[in-house]
Amino acid sequence: MTSESFNASVFLVDRQVEAGRGDRTAITGPAGGLTYAELAAHVAELATGLQSLGVRPEERVLLVMSDRPETAITILAVMRMGAVAVPVSTMYNGTELATLIRDSRARVVVATPEFAPTVQEALLGAPEVVLFVLTDAPDRRPAQSIRPTVRLWSDVLETGGQAGRTYDTWRDSSALWLYTSGTTGAPKAAMHRHGAIQDVYETYGRQVLGIRPEDRCFSVARLFFAYGIGNSLFFPLAAGATAILDPARPTPGGVIARVMEERPTLFFAGPTFFAALLASDAPDDAFQSVRLAVSAGEALPAEIYRRFTDRFGVDIIDGLGSTEALHIFVSNHPGRVRPGSSGTVVPGYEAKLLDDFGAPVKDGEPGHLYVRGDSVATGYWCRTATTRQVFQGEWLRTGDTYVRGEDGFYQCLGRSNDMIKAGGIWVSPMEVEARLLQHTSVGECAVVAYVDADGLEKPVACVVSAPGRTVDATELIGFCRDGLASFKRPREVLVLDELPKTATGKIQRVVVRQIAADLLGKTR
């Protein structure tokens, strides 16, 4: 039995041209712009050019690229020709990148020039690569000292000439792999179908964002993140809207400049970046073009929400998603925001909370969060044991601990392995952090468990002071005691210059726990 043909690249781009929207702006930004007609033509040409160089359907093409039109074209072209796009973090070093190239069995790597040295180093440890494509080179000639065949992206585009036909993919054909540490540590590739790209648009993009052709989308999260590729590629293109791509590394100043110049209507970031924007000298009217801001990646503290909306006059809808689900599946909605909550289940998904024994928990009781929906990945590449642990039938175990209210709103208590048991009672780090952030001296914070000399867990707060403020540890502990049950208060407050973060901007709680253990061990 043959499945019905469906190609995500055609859905995102060709569909808009066929609908008469070819002259609308698809992509804009400092690296250049494209109309939908121009984007469709380049995607078809690059797909044909890659085919002529021996790239085969269903094999992986790994991308090490900053956010620019060439990156979008490459992702779409790879999917159009039936191959699998594997955009990876541009923050990896050569050794780390080589590991991912070998793991994905990619024979083709595409990079933007600023990452050419890293890729060259990686290729020394990835002998299976036969083709290295550079979008540009300083002297317009790629270095020939590299072992694989090297081509300029523009030459591959020209080689395409007359665009060939779209490969006959199905909704269940593999379109995209995204590497994630997910719930279990080492990076692994979550495998996503062509159909899942339409699924996340129809659920979150259309029913929560309410995205429309007049929207302009700007995302701090890059295209190699599930969050970023939805924000900057899937949602705007599926709706016939405009994606704003910026190849520069995101900084508060750079992002504010881009927002004020490009005037997006939808702005996407994570809690850490929203906090950084609050600490910057951004003018209060910087976000006047933005109709809605979105936060994801980790729970948005209510205090950051309040400060941002009060200062900039833009509402933020916080949501929960994952690489394994491709985008957000629990979210607040425009006009229906509960600060400190992840919101309600996005239409098209189902969620449940289970205890340690797999039994459902009652509303108001904490449980492990499971979700199911059509966008969930088919599993991890070559990780059978981990796939069975995380993907349980139709259900995805997210690794998060949540509590559901009677009204259907979900509140994050933290990652399941981050919960603290103090005095025999479970303590949510998120709840203590939310209280700490209400104090004017605290800019950022992370609450972790410290095991004392008696082997007992104690909550410890690691904080970064707000600009121009000084942290008083005793005052902060009293502040928490006044606003929380006494057993939830941090027993120690450690002041740090900064909190260690992952490439996605999430706090590295494992590292914070080690820092706390080292510092407290020295003071005993």
Same domain, 332 and 448: no
Q: What value does the mean pLDDT take over residues 164-170?
A: 90
Is the pLDDT assigned to residue 138 strictly greater than 60? Answer: no
Q: What is the pLDDT of residue 494?
A: 96
Do residue 66 and residue 143 come from a single domain?
Answer: yes
Which of 96-105, 130-139, 489-498 is predicted least confidently? 130-139
- Strands in 316-321's sheet, in edge-to-edge order, are 34-35, 25-28, 242-244, 216-219, 266-269, 292-295, 316-321, 328-331, 344-345
Domain boundary, last residue among 365, 389, 415: 415
Percent of the chain past pLDDT 90, that is, above it, reads: 78
Query: How remote is the C-alpha of 345 from its chain's centroid?
Result: 19
pTM above 0.95, yes or no: no
Is 236 found in the same domain as 378?
yes
CB-neighbour burial class of residue 255 (10 A; exposed 0-12, middle 13-18, buried 19+) = buried
CATH number at residue 434: 3.30.300.30
- pLDDT, tens digit, 9 for 90 and up, residues 422-453: 766 768 888 899 999 999 999 999 999 888 77
Domain C-terminal end among 415, 434, 457: 415
Partner residues linked to 126 by β-bridges: none
Report whether pLDDT(517) > 70: yes
Q: Cα separation of 268 and 318, whole Å? A: 10
- For residue 297, what pLDDT is reported? 85
Whole-number pLDDT of residue 182: 46
Q: Is the dihedral of CA 429, 434, 437, 439 positive or negative?
A: negative
Q: Are residues 75 and 149 in the same domain?
A: yes
In what helix (H) or strand (E) does residue 461 lie, and over which residues does it extend? Answer: strand 457-465
Please indicate, yes or no, whether residues 358 and 438 belong to a single structural domain of this protein: no
pLDDT tens digits along 453-502: 767 678 999 999 999 999 999 999 999 989 887 888 999 999 999 999 87
Task: Verify that 403 and 503 share a domain, yes or no.
Answer: no
Number of structural domains (the chain) is: 3
| H, E, C per residue of 301-340 | CHHHHHHHHHHHCCCEEEEEECHHHCCEEEECECCECCCC
411 and 484 in a single domain? The answer is no
Query: Within this chain, do residues 371 and 460 fall inside the same structural domain, yes or no?
Result: no
Q: Of 138-147, 322-331, 429-438, which has the strongest mean pLDDT?
A: 322-331
Query: Residues 265, 319: one domain?
Result: yes
Same structural domain, 78 and 14:
yes
**What pairing do the DSSP bridges indicate for beta strands 131-134 and 149-152?**
parallel
Write the Ramachandran bin of 82: left for phi over 0, alpha for psi from -120 to 50, otherwise beta. Answer: left
Residue 370: inside a domain, yes or no?
A: yes
CATH number, domain of 264, equals 3.40.50.12780
As given in the structure block, the two tokens for residue 40 are 């469709």
Q: Which amino acid is at 328?
A: I
Q: Which range, of 41-55, 129-143, 157-171, 296-310, averages the lowest pLDDT?
A: 129-143
Phi, psi (rounded to 5 degrees) for 311:
-80, -45
In a domain, 268, yes or no: yes
Is the residue at 1 inside a domain? no
Q: Is 52 helix (H, G, I), strand (E, B) or coil?
A: helix
Same-domain status, 314 and 400: yes
Q: Considering the chain, what is the average pLDDT of its residues?
A: 92
Q: Quick one: pLDDT band at residue 521, thresholds 50, 70, 90? A: confident
Residue 185: per-residue pLDDT: 52
User: Does residue 188 form part of some domain?
Assistant: no
Sign of CA dihedral 499, 502, 506, 507: negative
Is residue 185 domain-resident? no
Overall average pLDDT of the 228-241 stretch: 98
Looking at residue 175, which CATH number applies to its domain? Answer: 3.40.50.980
* Structural domain boundaries, residue 314: 193-415
Verify that 325 and 435 share a domain, yes or no: no
Within-domain flag for 2: no
Instruction: State mean pLDDT over 385-411.
Output: 94
Average pLDDT over residues 337-365: 96
Confidence of residue 207 (pLDDT cuts 50, 70, 90): very high
Final residue belonging to a domain, choices 415, 434, 466: 415
The answer to whether 202 and 220 have CB atoms below 8 angstroms apart is no
Residue 186 lies in a domain: no
Note whether residue 187 is domain-resident.
no
